Amino acid sequence: MRNPNNEHATCRANTTKTTGKFCFESIIKDDSPAGYTGLGDNGIPLDTTSVNLDSGAWMVESASGNKVNADAGGSAYCSAFTVGEVLMTCIDFDANKIWWAVGGTFCDGGDPGAGTGEAFSNLAGELWPLIAQSSSSYQSTFNFTDMVGTLPTGFSAWDTAAVTTPLFTVTLIDTYDNVTLNNFTATLFNSTDTLINTTTSGEVNFTNIGLGTYSLNITGINDSGGYFNQSFRDVDASSAFQANAFQSVLRLRAADGFNNNTINDFSAVTNQSSDSTSNGLILILAKGGDFALNVTASSFDDLFTNFSLRALENISLNVTMGSIFNFNLIRESTGNVFDFNATNQTTLNIFCPNQTIQIFFNTSSNASQIVTCRFDLMQMTVDYGALGSYFRTLIPPVTQKNITWYLIDVKKGDVAIQRIIQLLDLTREFTNAKLSVTRAVSGVVRTIIEQRFDISNNVNLFLVQNGLYSLSIDNGVSVTILGNLIPTEAGTQTITLPKIDFVPSETILGDNVSWSYSLNVTTNVLRMQYLDKVEKTTFVKFTVFNETNAQLFSGESTDTSDVTITFNQAFANRTYSTELFFIHPDLSNHTDKKVFYGIGDTSSGALELQGWTPTEQRDIKKWVAYIFLIVWVLIFSSVHSGLAIATMTIWLWMFRLWQWVEVSGIIFGFLILIGVVAWIVEAMRKN
């Protein structure tokens, strides 16, 4: 800075600060005779005004080393400094303090790092670095970035220089197999700059870019049919960066084959990748091609499968995990290994809701199979060609992984007997019940057959002739032991369940023949029980009709010593009429008709009487009802005969509804006629 008129002059830097701790340096080039260096606010005039007299300037004079702020001579602070010496100015804008150092030593024992020995502590406002001359000329070089001296603790250079790197390199590989990709475009950008470069050789170079972090987009990847675009954040430009890209995506999920629940924790291994998850989803970043896949999960057997992908394909694959089941074939009669080679074909079918798994025993008497579904039934079919075939079934729990089949070896002399077990379910408590057949094999009781009753309430059993078997029925609530069975010849056997106590309501022929009825609309059951102690009855038929006399149900039996026939569609608030017909040589044909009103369990009529049998309750209620009706009519007929008959008819209807009495519709019609006549007579009497 030089003023040819030998007058005062001031020059100000173009950057300012208001907060923080900063330093800058100046080196005197010409000092004739003296100059000032320091800070000033924006009110300092850049003209011939003497800056040392301004309260908005805080300066140090070179010739004397005095600090100056709105006073001509200032006060002592530094020693004088001249051409070639380095003057460092440090400012703590937050504490409003300023220090100077000459040749690396802070004046007057000042310590900016400790915040002591400052030249001034009254800085205020927005301040700029200043240089001023007092007469002819004063020249100084300022350094705002790279300091010659050491910065005090906690202080920074006034400005930070833009540091650049001479070369930043980006390369690209395949995520799946690390193969180098050659053709792509790289876009490097931050808040101020965007740089784009394209390569066909697998390497993109950016030169002379500023150090720091950038965002990077990789696009236009044209190798092998194309790749998905990739984006990266916070890329450090101080060193080379290797990006990666994938060509295809497989979204893999696993489910439990027995309940279809999602498996959250599992692992997947392909030809060159290995991934795990705890959230039920694995993203396999791959490339076009065919792949082997191994999926593993705790408590499940390993799953091995394959999948294929094309370039730029994004697909989902849902696999079902299952368990390995081991099946062994044993000859029932001896406990030895079953000779499957002597059969035309031995086949196991595993029935699941949406599939059937089939296993052929043609190389060994044992086999293993991964079962990935919740099976309902297993059936083993043994075919001997001209000698016939048979089957056996099991319903093992899903936790039973080792399953043994006990089979009949027809070629070695075992005789298979077919027995059909028919279930007469009186209460529908045994719907879908399971029949189990057990037998001792080599001294140990084994489960031979498990089978559910079909829609005809039958099970079809193939048993070894003259073998001793035990049968039981499981309805899911309890297990009923049926007893033993020794099959000697083919046939059908009927089982009646449950056993129902018989309390006769009607008895003839000296108590030799009796029957009873019961209605329970809670269980929708209207039941007839018949007992012939001398077993002369040849035929029994029970028929149910609705209110319009339309037939709803009919059941009959020729096994007539003890018969129970049940109608399973009896509902509340409905009227049912029944007809019991049986043939007995001492009675010829006999018919018994009843009417039932579905208001609840009416085996003894409404209102339960504790301590009385159903028959006694019916008799008591019947006589109470009749006595009540007689007294009612006697009382009201003295007042009005028509009213007496009308109200008596209403009461009779209620007793009939409660099943305290049995009254036909004809009687009700007759009572209504008498009531009308009584009203007419009463009207004529008044007239």
11-53 tens-digit pLDDT:
888 888 888 899 999 888 776 667 889 999 888 887 656 777 7
Per-residue tokens: 246:
């994938």
**pLDDT bracket for residue 166 (50, 70, 90):** low
Query: What tokens does 337 get?
Result: 């290994």
Instruction: Let me know: does 98 contact 88? Beta carbons within 8 Å.
Output: no
Does 230 map to a domain? yes
For residue 629, what are its two tokens?
């009706």
Residues 127 and 23 in one domain: yes
Confidence check: pLDDT of 321 > 60:
yes
User: Per-residue confidence at 181, pLDDT binned at 50, 70, 90?
Assistant: very high
In sequence order, what are the residues at sequence separation of 6 or more whose Cβ sits closer than 8 angstroms to the Cβ of residue 275?
A: 267, 268, 269, 282, 283, 284
More confident residue, 374 or 162: 374
Q: Count the Cβ atoms, other than its own, within 10 Å of residue 500.
A: 14
* pLDDT at residue 170 is higher than 60: yes
Q: Is residue 2 part of a domain?
A: no
**Residue 626: left (phi > 0), alpha (psi -120 to 50), or beta?**
alpha
Judge contact between 107 and 95, C-beta under 8 A.
no
- For residue 268, the tally of other CB atoms under 10 A from its CB is 22
DSSP string, 309-352: E-TT-EEEEEEEE-EEEEEEEEETTT-SBP-GGGSSEEEEEEE-
Paired strand residues for 188: 195, 216
Peptide bond into 498 cis (omega under 30): yes
State what percent of residues in the chain have pLDDT above 70: 92
Residue 606 lies in a domain: no
On whether both 176 and 216 belong to a single domain, the answer is yes
Q: Domain check: are 51 and 141 in the same one?
A: yes
Number of domains forming the structure of the chain: 7
Amino acid 48: pLDDT: 58
DSSP E strand stretches across 585-644: 588-597
Mean predicted confidence (pLDDT) in 566-587: 86
* pLDDT per position as a tens digit, 608-625: 555 566 667 777 888 888
Looking at 301, 321, 341, the residue that finishes a domain is: 321
On the question of pLDDT at 332 being above 80, the answer is yes
Secondary structure in 3-state letters for 208-236? EEECCEEEEEEECCCHHHCCCCEEEEEEE
The answer to whether the beta carbons of residues 59 and 127 sit under 8 Å apart is: no
Look at residue 603 and tell me whether its pLDDT is greater than 50. no
Instruction: Report helix angle 641-657 to 665-686, nearest 10.
Output: 160
Average pLDDT over residues 555-573: 80
CA dist 385 and 162 (Å) reads: 94
In this structure, are residues 27 and 85 in contact, taking their beta carbons and an 8 Å threshold?
A: yes
433 domain-assigned: yes
- CATH code (residue 403): 2.60.40
pLDDT of amino acid 444: 94
Nearest 5°: phi and psi at 623? -70, -35
Cβ atoms within 10 Å, residue 586: 13
Q: Quickly state the pLDDT bin for 82 (edges 50, 70, 90).
A: confident
In contact, 592 and 540? CB cutoff 8 Å = no
Query: For 16-171, where are the alpha helices, taking DSSP H only?
Result: none
| Same domain (yes/no): 367, 329 | yes
pLDDT at res. 33: 63
Give residue 184's pLDDT band: very low, low, confident or very high (50, 70, 90): very high
Q: In terms of domains, do 548 and 589 share one?
A: yes
- pLDDT at residue 381 above 50? yes
Q: Residue 27's domain is classified under what CATH number?
A: 2.60.120.920
Give the span between the Cα atoms of 552 and 414, in whole angstroms: 48
Identify the pLDDT of residue 207.
82
Mean pLDDT value of segment 61-67: 88
Q: Where are the alpha helices (DSSP H) in 91-145?
A: none
| Domain co-membership, 130 together with 253 | no
CA dihedral 105, 107, 110, 111 (to 10 degrees): -20
Whether residues 239 and 309 fall in one domain: no
Which has more confidence, 385 or 511? 385
Q: Is the pLDDT of residue 657 over 80?
A: no
Say whether both 456 and 526 belong to one domain: no
**Residue holding tokens 């502590």?**
121
Q: Which residues contact 683 (CB under 8 A, 6 or more apart)?
A: none
- The CA-to-CA distance between both ends of the chain, in Å, stands at 146
Q: For residue 421, is it within any domain?
A: yes
Bigger pLDDT: 279 vs 686? 279
423-469: per-residue pLDDT in tens?
Answer: 888 777 888 899 999 999 999 999 999 999 988 889 999 999 999 99
Q: Of 378, 411, 444, which marks where a domain is finished? A: 411
* Maximum average pLDDT range among 143-157, 431-445, 582-596, 649-663: 431-445
Lowest mean pLDDT among 338-342, 378-382, 462-466, 518-522: 518-522
Contact status, residue 165 vs residue 209, Cβ threshold 8 Å: yes
How does pLDDT run across 466-483, given as a tens digit for each residue? 999 999 999 888 888 888
Q: What are phi and psi of 599, to 5 degrees?
A: -110, 5
pTM over 0.75: no
Is 141 in the same domain as 152? yes
Distance CA 112, CA 94 (A): 12
Buried b / exposed e along 375-402 (16+ C-beta atoms within 10 A): bebbebebebeeeebbebbbbbeeeeee
Residue range 322-329: mean pLDDT, rounded: 89
Mean pLDDT value of segment 243-256: 95
Q: Which of 245, 271, 301 is the last residue of a domain?
A: 245
**Tokens (6 digits) for 410:** 């027809």
DSSP structure class, residue 150: P
- d(CA 323, CA 531) in angstroms, rounded, equals 54
Is position 605 within any domain? no
Helix (H, G, I), strand (E, B) or coil at 643: helix
Domain holding 579: CATH number? 2.60.40.10
Q: Do 209 and 199 share a structural domain?
A: yes
Average pLDDT, the chain: 86
289 and 263 within one domain: yes
Q: In this predicted model, which residue has the larger pLDDT, 304 or 9? A: 304
Give 600's pLDDT tier (boundaries 50, 70, 90): very low
* Domain membership of residue 666 as a residue range: 614-686
Strand ranges in 453-524 using DSSP code E only, listed in sequence order: 458-464, 469-474, 479-485, 491-497, 506-508, 513-520
Give the Cα-Cα-Cα angle 19, 24, 29 (nearest 5 degrees). Answer: 150
What's the confidence (pLDDT) of residue 525? 81
Q: Do 21 and 131 share a domain, yes or no? A: yes
pLDDT band at 601 (very low <50, low <70, confident <90, very high): very low
Q: Is residue 1 part of a domain?
A: no
pLDDT tens profile 223-232: 999 999 999 9
**Which region among 16-25, 36-45, 133-142, 345-354 has the lowest average model confidence (pLDDT)?**
133-142
Asked whether residue 603 is assigned to any structural domain, the reply reads no
